[in-house]
Amino acid sequence: MISKKQFADLIMPIEERMKTVEDYIKVQDFLFASFLLCYSFPYKCIF
C-alpha cells in the first residue's frame, strides 16, 4: 500500500517508526519518575 504513494521512499519502515515511539515513551517515563523523586524527596534531587 505504501509503495503506491508518491513519496514512498521518504516513509520510514514501520519497525523503525515503532522503535522511535518506544524510545520516546521510555524517555518520558524516566523524566516523569525523576520528577516524582524530586517532588517526593527534594533533598535528593540532582537537578
Confidence (pLDDT) at 46: 61
Three cell numbers written together for 2: 505504501
User: Distance between CA atoms of 23 and 4, rounded to whole angstroms?
Assistant: 29
In tens, the pLDDT along 1-47 reads 666 778 888 888 989 999 999 999 998 988 888 888 787 777 766 65
- Farthest-apart Cα atoms in the chain, separation: 57
DSSP tag of 41: -
Confidence (pLDDT) at 45: 67
Whole-structure pTM value: 0.60
Confidence (pLDDT) at 33: 84
Confidence (pLDDT) at 34: 81
Q: What is the DSSP string of 4-17?
A: GSTTGGGSPPHHHH
